[in-house]
Amino acid sequence: MIFENVTIIGIGLIGSSLARNLKEYNLVKKITVYDASFDYMKKAQQLGIVDEIALNVEDAVKEADLIVLATPVGAFGPLTKKMKPFLKKGVVITDTGSVKEYALREIESHLCLEDGVIVVGGHPVAGTEKSGPEAGFLELFRDRWCILTPSAFSNNEAIEKVAQMWQVMGMRIEKMTPVHHDKVMAAVSHLPHLIAFSIVGTVADLEGYEQKEIIKYSASGFRDFTRIAGSDPTMWRDILLNNKVTVLELIQRFVEDLIALERNIRWDEGDKLFELFSRTQKIRKEVIDAKQDQPEHEKRLCAEMRKI
């Protein structure tokens, strides 16, 4: 048992996948859940993945040894402010937020080091475009990276315990600063997501095309962008607005590269196109070799969802 009483705030895709794992591997004594949606909490209880539901923040956190924030990052600050008076000395707060500098600033600005509250920033780099407690599943974290971003509010013992919790679920741990995390994620996650949002919006709004034809022939490429663009709107609004500087720099760079591509096509620069596509094909192979492609269990799950 790594922690005794664990409180998960936000029982969506990530919170419920975590709860499933904590139960499966017997990692904790009791799991309490608090979520803005009473129906989600009830559902989680029916699924047998939590022990107690709390109707307010005080009841959720007063006995907790570990609190996991798994709501959209925009809620972290207000939640920490509300929970602060009820926290036990020595409690560890960790989070699952996809941006780390903003998330930790929001959490830590409501705490003082003298309170004895420990914070270990975390980001399990695993997910799907689905939301809610029924979208979670046991294998979500397997063979994926969990990035921990220790700060002045962390200590080695708590970092080790949080790391151990994710490792039991099959995650590999990497530690980095929040700023470095946000830079890396801007490239591998935030930019690809915003391009998907943009392309799906553009194609859907094209004049002179039949909407039903776009859907009918979507397997030619559009479909793969719609998977990413189908992600939760609140979560992605919060991520993009709170990693603004880095994301804006990358958009600038992307626009320049897109214009270069436009020029290559306009001037029939086939060699340049071929060279770029060969390079991107090699990158695809490297992703597969690093086992970062969609794993078989996720593919099966997606295929089953499509049948429903």
In this chain, which stretch among 127-135, 169-177, 204-212, 280-288 interacts with ligand NAP, using CB under 6 A? 127-135
Q: Is 240 in the site for ligand NAP (CB under 6 A)?
A: no
Q: Is 37 in the site for ligand NAP (CB under 6 A)?
A: yes
Distance CA(237)–CA(191), nearest Å, equals: 13
Task: Please answer whether residues 133 and 158 qualify as being in contact, where contact means their C-beta atoms are separated by less than 8 angstroms.
Answer: no
Task: Tell the smallest beta-carbon distance from residue 246 to ligand NAP (Å).
Answer: 16
CB 10 within 8 A of CB 71: yes
Using CA atoms, how far apart are residues 196 and 224, in angstroms rounded to an integer?
Answer: 9
Window contacting ligand NAP (CB under 6 A); options: 120-128, 201-209, 258-266, 285-293: 120-128
121 contributes a contact to ligand NAP by CB under 6 A:
no
Locus of tokens 């793969």: 224
Q: Which is nearer to ligand NAP, 26 or 56 (CB)?
A: 56
Sign of the alpha-carbon dihedral angle for 135, 137, 139, 143: positive
13 is a site residue for ligand NAP (CB under 6 A): yes
Nearer to ligand NAP, 70 or 169 (CB): 70
Helices (H) and strands (E) in the chain, counts: 14, 8
28 bridge partner residues: 3
Q: How far is the CB of 285 from ligand NAP (least distance, A)?
A: 24
CB of 80 to ligand NAP, least distance (A): 11
Contact between residue 112 and residue 89 where contact means Cβ atoms under 8 Å apart: no
The contact mask relative to ligand NAP for 174-203 (x = CB under 6 A, - = no) is ------------------------------
174 touches 149 (CB < 8 A)? no
In angstroms, rounded to a whole number, what is the distance separating the alpha carbons of residues 175 and 163? 10
Residues 6+ apart with CB under 8 A from 92: 3, 65, 66, 67, 118, 119, 120, 158, 161, 162
The answer to whether residue 14 forms part of the interface with ligand NAP (CB under 6 A) is: yes
Around Cβ 64, how many Cβ atoms within 10 Å? 25
Nearer to ligand NAP, 70 or 104 (CB): 70
One-character DSSP codes across 270-281: HHHHHHHHHHHH
Site map for ligand NAP, 68-107, x if CB under 6 A? --xxxx-x---x----------------xxx---------
Pick one of 232, 242, 243, 301: the residue that binds ligand NAP (CB under 6 A).
232
62 vs 272 by CB, closer to ligand NAP: 62
Q: Which is nearer to ligand NAP, 71 or 149 (CB)?
A: 71
Between 228 and 250, CB nearer to ligand NAP: 228
The pair of three-digit structure tokens given for residue 94, joined into one six-digit string: 């960790």
The one among 8, 12, 20, 64 contacting ligand NAP by CB under 6 A: 12
Q: DSSP letter at 171?
A: P
Number of residues that bind ligand NAP (CB under 6 A): 29
Residues at the site binding ligand NAP, with contacts judged by CB under 6 A:
9-15, 34-37, 40, 70-73, 75, 79, 96-98, 123-124, 127, 131-132, 232, 235, 239
